[in-house]
Amino acid sequence: MISPDLTALEALEISIRTEIDSQELYKDIADQCKNEFLRERFLNLMNEEKKHQSILIKMHKELFKEVELKIPPSQISRDEILAKLYKPESITDVIKFAIEKERKSREFYLDAAEIVQDLSGKRMFRYLADMEFTHQMILNAELEMIEKYPAYFNHPIDYEIEQSFQKRKK
């Protein structure tokens, strides 16, 4: 639950910071992936967050033309995340962190939709909440794959046909 004293302007600025932090997180994870398919998945999430940031900046310009955009500092320790990424066994922790971050972002956007008076602002925050939920589901699926198949994160997918399926030479 967000503070009842939070203004629509502050909600926008916090939202922009959240999207920037998410972009950096997904880029850092993608940079560590040896599996090209998984790497692309995280780069796509990073690009989604960039789109969200653009939407929020546009909304700021429309609603607060005369007010300079002031993005608050990050609350995430990037060094801590990077340290975890270099330990293969803790990639699950990083993805769980990303899932929780998406969940909190969704809650924040739903709360922000309640405090803004502008109808297009309400729709924008609800849309972003839905997108963050989608990201949460994507991350849950990737987490499940990594937990079931630990090599999934660290190795390229090998599509060679198993020996038992190859035609036998006569």
Q: Determine, yes or no, domain membership for 1.
A: no
Q: Determine, yes or no, domain membership for 99.
A: yes
What gap in Å lies between CA 8 and CA 64, rounded to an integer? Answer: 10
Q: Determine, yes or no, domain membership for 129.
A: yes
Q: Determine, yes or no, domain membership for 3.
A: no
Asked if the model's pLDDT at residue 4 lies above 80, the reply is: no
What gap in Å lies between CA 169 and CA 139, rounded to an integer? Answer: 44
Range of the domain at 50: 8-73+82-148
Residue type, 24: E
The closest alpha carbon to 128, from 22, 56, 23, 33, belongs to 56
Q: Determine, yes or no, domain membership for 103.
A: yes
**pLDDT for 16-59, tens place per residue?**
999 999 999 899 888 888 788 888 999 999 999 999 999 999 98
Residue with tokens 């293969």: 88
pLDDT at 133: 97
Query: How many domains does the chain contain in total?
Result: 1
What gap in Å lies between CA 140 and CA 129, rounded to an integer? Answer: 17
Contacts of residue 55, defined as CB under 8 A and 6 or more positions apart, other chains included, come to 124, 128
What gap in Å lies between CA 132 and CA 70, rounded to an integer? Answer: 23
Residue type, 111: D
**Does residue 155 contact residue 35 with C-beta atoms inside 8 Å?**
yes
pLDDT confidence band for 137 (50 / 70 / 90): very high
Q: Determine, yes or no, domain membership for 2.
A: no
Q: Token pair of 23, please?
A: 């972009």
Q: Determine, yes or no, domain membership for 159.
A: no
**pLDDT for 76-130, tens place per residue?**
777 776 666 666 557 788 889 889 989 999 999 999 898 888 888 889 899 999 9
Asked if the model's pLDDT at residue 159 lies above 60, the reply is: no
What gap in Å lies between CA 35 and CA 165, rounded to an integer? Answer: 24
Q: What is the CATH number of the domain that holds 117?
A: 1.20.1260.10
